[in-house]
Structures are given as structure tokens and as C-alpha cells.
């Protein structure tokens, strides 16, 4: 009975909502370090090609989307989605971000698409993808800019 009461009074959070975030790319991608402003440009479809000409494909981890966009852009996901719809409408990009439900799906998408950029919890990273440095910092660094 006490356990049930404790569970009912616990705050409800989405999985990974407060987890440290890693921005990831395909292992073959030449990118290894992004400026924070460049990361923002990719996630807002203001830049739609990588330096090598590959088309960018964004992979969103839905359970982390709200906290990620708040940290990176300072806006709610519905504002980001509205922006992307506008970018598609005006022909700036043809593809909305892939909305994926778990880190494994994001990693699979990124591993299968050379131009993919996504975000997952740091604890879900592995050798199938590459974690980008942001302004020279890894997510494990104390002064990582996406906190």
C-alpha cells in the first residue's frame, strides 16, 4: 500500500527528459565539431546541406524533443514544427524531421542516412554513430553548451 502511494505521488516525466543530450551523425560524416549556431541552423532547416553537399535529414527523439529544443533553441517543439512546415511550404526543404520513439531508432536512422543529424541521450551512444563536439566540447565536458 505504501509503495502504491509512493508511486502515485512521484512526478511523471518522459523518459530521457533530463538526460544529457548528444548530437549525432553518421560515422562516415566528415563533421566532428559544430559551432552552436551551426547546430541551430541545421535543426531549423536554415542549412539543408552538409559541407560535402549531402542533404541533411533530421532525426528527432520524440521523448527528448521538448527539452532538446528548449536547450538548443529556447523554443517549444510546436514552434519548431511550425517553422519546419513553413520551410517545406516555401521549398527550402522537402523533408520534415523523422519523429522516432527511442534512441535505437534514431541511431538506426542516422546509421542508414549519410546526411542524418539527430539527438539521443549520451548513455545511448555507441560505435554505430558519431557524437559531435559542439564548440569543441563533448557532452561529458562541464562546459558543454547544450545543457
Yes or no: say if 110 and 8 are a contact pair by the CB < 8 Å rule: no
Q: Summarize pLDDT for 58-102 with one digit per residue, the tens.
A: 999 999 999 999 999 999 999 999 999 999 999 888 899 999 999
C-alpha cell at position 120: 539521443
pLDDT attached to residue 18: 54
Yes or no: say if 147 and 46 are a contact pair by the CB < 8 Å rule: no
Whose cell is 526543404? That residue is: 93
β partners of residue 121: 21
For residue 113, give the nearest of 28, 42, 22 by alpha carbon.
Answer: 28
For residue 19, is pLDDT > 90? no
pLDDT attached to residue 61: 98
94: left (phi over 0), alpha (psi -120 to 50) or beta: alpha
Alpha carbon of 91 to those of 42, 46, 104, 127, 140: distances in Å? 16, 12, 31, 35, 37
Yes or no: say if 54 and 115 are a contact pair by the CB < 8 Å rule: yes
| pLDDT bucket at 3, cuts 50 / 70 / 90 | very low
Amino acid at each position: 500500500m505504501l509503495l502504491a502511494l509512493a508511486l502515485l505521488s512521484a512526478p511523471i516525466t518522459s523518459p530521457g527528459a533530463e538526460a544529457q543530450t548528444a548530437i549525432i551523425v553518421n560515422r562516415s560524416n566528415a563533421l566532428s565539431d559544430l559551432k552552436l549556431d551551426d547546430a541551430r541552423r541545421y535543426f531549423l532547416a536554415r542549412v539543408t546541406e552538409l559541407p560535402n553537399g549531402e542533404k541533411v535529414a533530421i532525426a528527432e527523439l520524440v521523448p527528448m524533443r521538448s527539452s532538446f529544443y528548449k536547450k538548443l533553441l529556447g523554443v517549444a517543439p510546436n514552434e519548431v514544427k511550425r517553422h519546419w512546415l513553413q520551410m517545406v511550404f516555401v521549398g527550402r526543404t522537402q523533408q520534415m524531421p523523422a519523429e522516432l520513439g527511442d534512441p535505437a531508432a534514431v541511431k538506426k536512422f542516422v546509421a542508414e542516412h549519410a546526411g542524418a543529424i539527430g539527438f539521443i541521450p549520451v548513455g545511448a551512444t555507441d560505435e554505430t554513430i558519431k557524437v559531435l563536439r559542439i564548440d569543441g566540447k563533448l557532452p561529458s565536458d562541464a562546459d558543454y553548451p547544450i545543457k
